[in-house]
């Protein structure tokens, strides 16, 4: 006594599927639709989060910030694998005055042309224009400008409190981001204006899409003195990080739910498909097809159907 070869059952299964035409097609389409829904959902989740990261990071802060960097370290030293841009910034705390109005501020010296290329603060300008490298100019946030009662073209004075000579800066533009940390207490001027006052700088580093900031930071640790501190956007913007985690979580829940419903639906469809053919299995049973062979036949049918779907 011997059982029948596998090839025979595969052939029978494909004949069954092929000749039952419509229901096979409908089932296959269901599987396809389900798979695509899932792929779409997950790529949507990833896409939304990527966009959120990109927007937040490219507005100002970059993927990685390097703090308290020595003047001997050049921006070129920070270009490692995966880095697309390094911005040099120098911040000095001080006081801004205009006609008797006084505000404490952190003045940040930036390289205007490099900033224009990488960051998007310029898009947030509501009056005037962005800085130019050759101008002795200052860019203020709207709340700060309001409190100082300055308008485009006015001249302000910046002092660190230690030095007698004040820095004289013309208001070139006013911006508003809607983000607290950026709208309160900081102002921008060209790097050249304050490069002599303070040598220690910070680096704002931009990465290629998909590069993990941690791996770049690890590379810096290997290459540079470990007195330097590098932090990724995840540490510097915990809110954003939380938001993204939340987003992933909710998307995950939705995906699991959809997956559950979909697979339940498919399972039902398969059960119906099998029940519909119960008569056939009965006839085969009477002809002496073993339970094992029958199971194999059904499994092959289901597998073939899934193959047809993908």
Partner 1 sequence: MIELEKISKEFRSGRGYVRALTDVSFTLERGKTAAVVGKSGSGKTTLLNCIGGLERPEKGTVICFGADIYSLSAKKLSLFQRKNFGFVFQHGNLLSYLTVFENIAFPLWLNGIAEKQAQLRVKELLKKIGLSNAQAALPHELSGGEIQRVSAARAIAHSPRLLLADEPTASLDTVTGKNLIALMFEMGRNQGCTMVISTHDPEISRLADQIIQIKDGRVIKETA
Q: Which residues bind partner 1 (CB under 8 A)?
A: 1-5, 8, 12, 15-16, 18-20, 279-280, 283-292
Report the nearest approach of partner 1 to the CB of residue 295 (Å).
12
Give the dihedral of Cα atoms 107, 113, 115, 116; nearest 10 deg. Answer: 120
Residue 135, φ and ψ in degrees, nearest 5: -90, 145
* Residue 179 neighbours by CB distance under 10 Å: 16
Nearest distance from C-beta of residue 303 to partner 1, angstroms: 17
Q: How far is the CB of 27 from partner 1 (least distance, A)?
A: 15
Tell me whether residue 57 or residue 305 sits nearer to partner 1 (CB atom). Answer: 305
Alpha-helix residue ranges (DSSP H) falling in 149-290: 180-183, 191-194, 213-223, 233-236, 238-276, 278-286
Cβ proximity to partner 1, 247 vs 280, nearer residue: 280
In contact, 69 and 201? CB cutoff 8 Å: yes
Q: Which is nearer to partner 1, 17 or 216 (CB)?
A: 17
Identity of the residue, 84 or 283, whose beta carbon is nearer to partner 1 in the bound complex = 283
Least distance from partner 1 to the Cβ atom of residue 11, Å:
9
Identify the CA nearest to 209 among candidates 47, 66, 39. Answer: 47
Q: Which is nearer to partner 1, 1 or 225 (CB)?
A: 1
Q: How far is the CB of 23 from partner 1 (least distance, A)?
A: 11
Contact present, 152 and 127 (Cβ < 8 Å): yes
> How far from each other are the two terminal CA atoms of the chain, in whole angstroms?
38
């Amino acid at each position: 006594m011997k059982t029948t070869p596998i090839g025979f059952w595969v052939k029978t299964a494909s004949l069954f599927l092929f000749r039952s035409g419509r229901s096979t097609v409908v089932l296959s389409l269901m599987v396809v639709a389900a798979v695509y829904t899932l792929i779409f959902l997950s790529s949507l989740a990833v896409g939304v989060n990527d966009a959120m990261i990109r927007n937040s990071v490219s507005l100002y802060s970059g993927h990685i910030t390097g703090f308290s960097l020595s003047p001997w370290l050049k921006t070129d030293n920070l270009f490692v694998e995966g880095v697309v841009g390094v911005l040099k910034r120098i911040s000095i705390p001080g006081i801004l005055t205009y006609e008797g109005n006084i505000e404490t501020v952190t003045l940040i010296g930036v390289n205007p042309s490099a900033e224009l290329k990488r960051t998007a603060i310029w898009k947030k300008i509501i009056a005037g224009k962005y800085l130019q490298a050759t101008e002795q100019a200052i860019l203020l946030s709207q709340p700060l400008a309001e409190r100082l009662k300055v308008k485009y073209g006015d001249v302000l004075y910046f002092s660190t409190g230690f030095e007698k000579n004040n820095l004289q800066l013309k208001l070139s533009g006013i911006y508003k981001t809607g983000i607290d940390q950026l709208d309160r207490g900081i102002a921008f001027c060209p790097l050249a204006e304050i490069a002599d006052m303070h040598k220690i700088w910070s680096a704002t580093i931009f990465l290629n899409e998909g590069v993990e900031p941690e791996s770049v930071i690890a590379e810096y640790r290997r290459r540079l003195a470990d007195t330097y501190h590098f932090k990724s956007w995840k540490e510097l913007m915990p809110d954003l990080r939380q938001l993204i985690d939340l987003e992933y979580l909710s998307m995950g829940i939705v995906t699991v739910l959809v997956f559950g419903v979909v697979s339940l639906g498919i399972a039902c469809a398969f059960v119906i498909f099998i029940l519909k053919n119960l008569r056939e299995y009965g006839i085969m049973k009477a002809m002496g097809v073993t339970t094992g062979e029958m199971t194999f036949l059904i499994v092959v049918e289901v597998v073939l159907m899934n193959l047809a779907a993908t």
